[in-house]
Structure 1
Amino acid sequence: MKLEPARFAAYIAARLCHDIVSPAATMSLSLEMLDSPGSAEEKEHCEKSLREGAHGVAATLQFLRYAFGSMGLQGGTADVHQFRKLTDEYVRFQKPSLEWDITATELGFGHARLIMNMVMVALTATARGGVITIRVRDEGAMKTVTLTCKGDRVNLKEEVAKALRGEEPEGGWRPENIQPLFTKITCDELGGTLQARQGPEGVVIMATGLKPQV
């Protein structure tokens, strides 16, 4: 894996900006339309779009702050309810739905950060809709996180699979394929192994051998 730190940071920043642009653009367009002549129904629709855009920006920023920022680097036990809520709010503005199945006793901030990034990877496989099931288990002293993506048109892109293995995708690294690499790095820091495959059951993304943080 040959990627200069400055270029890696630039690609991550570009990816984060991309996630914020869409809801922000919705807000900007709604404000412009509110300032333009129109019927009461049109104004009401603009106000609704403005509220949705504002909620989308807030949900995205809070999610990304945890998934990429310093909050995910803290020691100690993570608040499972909090990072689940942030993830649910983020995915609410996407096409697939989430199902949670967590029986692990305690999760550290690093585990939560990894799960959130694995969800972002799963979203690339369910861009046209589907269901993402998040399963977290204690396996002896280690933890295992498994995300299963099911739907009519779920698809694990080759460049995503390569990035999850730490291999440079064909055509090189870009903001569009850098996030799966960040997911691998996050998993590596927890001592785990990241795998992804597509089979009859759908797309499965699994992190095994995760060391406890608490």
Structure 2
Amino acid sequence: MTSATDLAALLCSRLCHDMLSPVGALSNGLELLADEKDPEMRRRCFELLEQSARISADKLKFFRLAYGAAGGFGDAVPTDEPRELIAGIVAANERLQLDWAVTEPTLPKPAIKVLLNLAAIGVDSLVRGGVLAVGAENRGRATEIAVRASGPKVAFDGTIGKALDGSLDEAELSGRTAPAHMVRLLTEELGGGVQYALSGEALIMGAVLPNG
């Protein structure tokens, strides 16, 4: 069985993998800027640096709440926060669109984590762009979450599906599957569950987390 330490290490690996591109772009941009004398090219370098810095900051804020203990361990988190975090990730790709359908002012902290991680899986599946629809509702006894990723090509790694449904072999657990594995563990610890369905047009994921 994977220990909490192993899972934390895998989540750190995933975070580092996702941060490598925007941070690398920052480094490359600074090198170009140091050698560039043309005013127009320098302006362009600054634009690229600003974009990379914004993407890096958005990703760090996202992972801080999705994986870590941002905001402490309180019972509820304002839903404006995950909306802004997901919108920031979506905005980094002009081919993506966010359809936010969460009307609750706050949601339990575990539900926020599940929502963010399912949204990230949805974004990763839309390799040619599309619409990420995110919904959640507190029904008193439980919080229900639904994420739908639809687009011209939905690419979903089967090992992530196995991590969600609990059929993943220990040897297949990696930085790529660790977030889905964490979602399943979190929902099971609370007495809930997570499901997914994949078609040629969309990936649909849902979770139910009992409150209290």
Normalising by structure 2, we get a TM-score of 0.89
Native 8 Å contact 2:194 2:206 kept in 1: yes
Q: 2:64: which partner in 1?
A: 65
Residue equivalent to 1:124: 124
Deviation string 1:167-186 (CA, Å, 9 cap, x unpaired) is 22596222122221112122
Is the Cα–Cα contact under 8 Å of residues 134 and 148 in structure 2 kept in the other structure? yes
Q: Counterparts of 1:127 and 1:201 in 2: how far apart (Å)?
A: 13
Q: Provide the C-alpha distance between the structure 1 equivalents of 2:139 and 2:153, rounded to a whole number of angstroms.
A: 32
* Structure-2 change in CA distance of 1:13 and 1:106 (3 Å): closer
Q: CA deviation at 1:148?
A: 1.0
For residues 151 and 131 of structure 1, the distance between their equivalents in structure 2, rounded to whole angstroms, comes to 6
1:77 and 2:64 are equivalent in the alignment: no
Letter of the 2:59 counterpart: T
Instruction: Give 3-state SS (helix, strand or coil) of 2:162's partner.
Output: helix
In structure 2, relative to structure 1, the CA distance for the partners of 1:104 and 1:64 (3 Å cut) is same
Deviation larger for 188-197 or 18-27: 188-197
**Larger deviation, residues 48-57 vs 131-140:** 131-140
- Aligned-residue Cα RMSD (Å) equals 2.1
Shift of 1:123: 1.8
In the TM superposition, residue 194 of structure 1 has moved relative to its aligned partner by 0.3
2-structure distance, mates of 1:184, 1:82: 22
The 2-side partners of 1:42 and 1:108 are apart by: 48
User: What's the CA shift for 1:195?
Assistant: 0.4
Deviation at 1:63, TM superposition (A): 1.1
- The AA in structure 2 aligned to 1:29 is N
Mapping for residues 188-199 of structure 1, pairs under 5 Å: 188-199=188-199
Change (3 A) 1:29 1:105: closer
Q: Unpaired runs of 5+ in structure 1?
A: none
Check 1:35–1:212 CA distance in 2 against 1; reply closer, same or farther (3 A cut): same
User: How many pairs are equivalent?
Assistant: 211
Determine if the alignment matches structure 1 residue 167 to structure 2 residue 167: yes
Correspondences of 1:111-150 after superposition (within 5 Å): 111-139=111-139, 141-150=141-150
Question: For the residues of structure 2 that align with 1:72 and 1:144, how far apart are their CA atoms?
Answer: 22
Q: Is the 8 A contact 1:149 1:202 kept in 2?
A: yes
What is the aligned partner in structure 2 of residue 19 from structure 1?
18
Structure 1 length as normaliser, TM-score? 0.89
Q: CA deviation at 1:73?
A: 5.9
